[in-house]
Chain A
């Protein structure tokens, strides 16, 4: 079974600064997908960024980027130029790449609460 670990329960950052959220995972699979989801106080779950394990290049989405280290099984999220609206809980998630049944299984970490201060 896969496990996802977010070791930072809470983090804070000043507006306009950069912050990195950590995520590690444990799997014996070679092909998989990794995701970061954001949950603001409204509690809506929002997909932030997605990484395919067989791609070397780190994914980026505007101010959000990842540092994917496959050998270390690490998948950190970097938020640049932090904004007040980035205040949320962030979840890292893992999915195997086998098609069919595996696309139904999404395993989440415990979450990291990020607070952006003005």
Chain B
């Protein structure tokens, strides 16, 4: 089944403890992206990638890192999480972005 897989689905962590949210797609898509969703703000883009080793900042990149070493994987790294990074995170991928993106099931992150 064609899909974008994010893990974990839920995560509670403490301030300052490094964490990684994994994202993998099995559709050979070129484009991958990370978003965070907060009430009243919609989805805001964190980082995106156009291909292996090609990434760029979105609208809210502060406090996040990404890497694209393989085409199928695009992990999101929080080196030192803070409570304001508590949010719902989505990974998405697309063969050609203008045809729309396929989203993962989301990761609910709580930083205490």
Contacts and interface: CB of A to CB of B under 8 A. Distances in A.
Contacts of B105: 43-44
Interface string B16-57: 000000000000000101010000111111001110000010
Contacts of A35: 100
Interface residues of chain A: helix, strand, loop or mixed (majority) = mixed
A103 B97 contact: yes
A44 B103 CA distance: 7
A9 B39 CA distance: 11
Contacts of B77: none
A4 B43 CA distance: 11
B61 interface: no
Contacts, number: 64
Contact of A106 (B45, B49, B56, B102): B45
Interface residues of B, number: 29
Q: A interface, how many residues as a size bin?
A: 20 to 34
Contacts of A106: 33, 45, 92, 97, 101
Contact of A104 (B43, B50, B106): B50
Interface residues of chain B: helix, strand, loop or mixed (majority) = strand
Given A50-B100, A95-B97, A110-B40, A105 B45 contact: yes
Nearest to A93: B43
Contacts of A45: 90, 92, 103, 106
A47 B4 CA distance: 14
B109 to A, nearest CB: 13
19 contacts: A6-B42, A35-B100, A43-B88, A44-B105, A45-B106, A46-B103, A50-B100, A91-B42, A97-B98, A102-B97, A103-B97, A104-B48, A104-B56, A105-B45, A105-B48, A107-B45, A108-B43, A109-B42, A110-B41
Given A43-B106, A104-B49, A107-B59, 12 more contacts: A6-B42, A35-B100, A44-B106, A50-B100, A52-B98, A95-B97, A100-B50, A101-B56, A103-B31, A103-B98, A106-B92, A111-B42
